Amino acid sequence: MSAVFEIHNLAKFNWEAGAQGESRYLFSRISAEITKPERVALIGASGQGKSTLLRILALLDIPDEGDLLLNGASFKNSNPREWRMAVAYVAQQAVMLPGSIEDNLRTISRLHGQPYDAALGAQLMEQLGLDHLDLAKKAEDCSGGEKQRISLIRTLLLRPSILLLDEATASLDIDSTRKVEALLMNRHKEEGTTLIWVTHDLEQAHRISNRTWVIDKGGMQEYSSAAFFDQPVGGAVHS
């Protein structure tokens, strides 16, 4: 399941460039390489471009400079739909599609022309404490926290090799947060899923990651999480 993923000198222009001395770039010269299953915490102060970077990695936005390679193939020569099956993004604000919870769980498989794995769906619902929900319930009527977990499960059903998580537990209580963390750690261990996880919760970043990417002042630094959290550096930890 694991993929080799390369980020080469990625840059995004700042659409506010010029105003009040804003820099030309939101970020630039972002490089990193993932050659085996990893758990990456992506941290940094608000507005540094963490969500924008994740969206670019999933080809939901395009970089202005640089390249992305998945198993040696540039995004420029790749089919975005196939790319997003391997490099899947889970948005911070879960959007439910019209219909029932089950319709939502089946949607992504249907879009990607893949069979729906009902057994895995049921297992993930149970692991995230959602097995009490009636699958026929209208998805729109679910709570914010339920929607966030349903949207995560919807994406996990694709079995992506790289999972991009944008504050995946932001609307969850502690118990549900721990369930999501345990499930994702398990997917990493059992399926070799790489996690790239944006979080503002540094204790969570410490718990879930082996590498830490800090995005700050338009650039990105990489640390081993063990070293980073023993001796925090950079502005991000103070945000």
Contacting positions for ligand ATP (CB under 6 A):
12-16, 26, 44, 46-52
Number of separate helices (H) and strands (E) present in the chain:
8, 10
Write phi, then psi, for 160 (nearest 5 degrees): -65, 150
Closest CB 5 distance from ligand ATP, rounded Å: 20
Task: Name the residue whose CB lies closest to ligand ATP.
Answer: 46
By beta-carbon proximity to ligand ATP, the closer residue of 130 and 198 is 198
Nearer to ligand ATP, 49 or 121 (CB): 49
Give min distance, CB of 42 to ligand ATP, in A.
Answer: 9
Written as one letter, the residue type at 238 is H
Identify which of residues 13 and 116 has a Cβ nearer to ligand ATP in the complex: 13
153 close to 96: Cβ distance less than 8 angstroms: no
Burial class (CB in 10 A: 0-12, 13-18, 19+), 202: middle
**Least Å distance between CB 139 and ligand ATP?**
24
Q: How far is the CB of 211 from ligand ATP (least distance, A)?
A: 18
Q: Report the DSSP beta bridge partners of residue 5.
A: 34, 70
Q: Which CB sits closer to ligand ATP, 52 or 177?
A: 52
3-state secondary structure of 144: helix
